[in-house]
Amino acid sequence: MFKKILPAAVAVLFASLATADESDIRKAMEAKLGTKVESVNKSGYLGLYEVYADGNIFYTDEKMTAFLVNAQLIDGKNMKNVTEERMRKLTAIKFSELPLERAIKQVRGDGKRVLATFEDPNCGYCKRLAKDLLKLENVTIYTFLYPILSEDSVRKSKQIWCAADRSKAWNDWMVDGKAPPAKDDCDTSAIGRNQEYGRKLNITGTPTLFFSDGERVPGAVPVARIEQKLSQGK
């Protein structure tokens, strides 16, 4: 969305406010960009304000004379990526609010550690992740079928959901390349509801992982990092 609206916004700029606070900036940004601004906060660096909207962070000064888009704000003292840390907090969810009844549930060992993933059955990174997740022990994994790549992804998701053993059908396909059963005439409303829910969470790519503390991690991250995060959440 920003790719379409930011060039015009930057060209026109904001010249109307001599000074501004968070409320002023929020109202002006929403009016200019035509989208809801989730939050505006002082970044603590260079007098910049952090603006969070549509799942993105960008920065502006109090007069809103310019924007920093797709920028990574780095703390000069400790070289900490401030933007990355803020994104983790801003995109976090309440794990307890996930509609787990619409996910494929796999329990290994005592199942005490929990992880939720949103995945497309035709996503290559998801297939790599599926193989890595087999290495985890004492974990419960909730896999939300989230077909966003193609109509075939929707069809395969429905076939996996309609399988007598969903976990087996999922792993057979993702790990071994064995096609799921052709049956897809059961109640597959969960697939459409997952798509709607994922859009609400602004999940634009697969896989996307959520840990018990609500932290969101996009992409097929190394299994060592997943193991580390799961151990921290014990």
| Stretches in the chain below the pLDDT threshold 50 | 2, 4-18
33's tokens = 């960009």
Phi first, then psi: give them for residue 177, nearest 5 degrees: 75, 20
Residues 103 and 160 placed together within one structural domain of the fold: yes
Residues 115 and 52 placed together within one structural domain of the fold: no
pLDDT in tens, 39-87: 999 899 988 999 998 888 889 888 888 888 888 999 999 999 998 888 8
Report the distance separating Cα 213 and Cα 229, nearest Å: 10
Distance, first Cα to last Cα, the chain: 38
- pLDDT for the residue numbered 233: 66
Residues 123 and 179 placed together within one structural domain of the fold: yes
Q: What pTM was computed for the model?
A: 0.76
Residues 141 and 72 placed together within one structural domain of the fold: no
Domain boundary among 38, 61, 90: 90
Residues 82 and 99 placed together within one structural domain of the fold: no
Residues 49 and 102 placed together within one structural domain of the fold: no
53's tokens = 């909207």
Determine how many CB atoms are found less than 10 A away from the CB of residue 36: 10
Domain boundary among 27, 56, 90: 90
pLDDT in tens, 219-233: 989 999 999 999 986
Residues 77 and 181 placed together within one structural domain of the fold: no
- pLDDT for the residue numbered 129: 96
Domain boundary among 32, 60, 90: 90
**What type of residue sits at position 179?**
A
Least Cα distance to 209 among 117, 145, 132, 84 occurs for 117
Could you list the residue range(s) of the whole structural domain that residue 51 is in?
2-90
Q: Are 141 and 105 in contact (CB under 8 A)?
A: yes
Q: Are 215 and 88 in contact (CB under 8 A)?
A: yes
Residues 14 and 124 placed together within one structural domain of the fold: no
Report the distance separating Cα 56 and Cα 48, nearest Å: 16
**What type of residue sits at position 34?**
G
Question: Looking at residue 106, which CATH number applies to its domain?
Answer: 3.40.30.10
* Backbone φ/ψ region at 214: left (φ over 0), alpha (ψ -120 to 50), beta: left
Residues 124 and 106 placed together within one structural domain of the fold: yes
Residues 69 and 25 placed together within one structural domain of the fold: yes
Residues 126 and 196 placed together within one structural domain of the fold: yes
Residue pointed to by tokens 């035509």:
34
- pLDDT for the residue numbered 84: 86
- pLDDT for the residue numbered 7: 47
Residues 64 and 117 placed together within one structural domain of the fold: no
What's the domain count of the chain?
2
- pLDDT for the residue numbered 83: 87
E strand or H helix at 59, and its extent?
strand 56-60
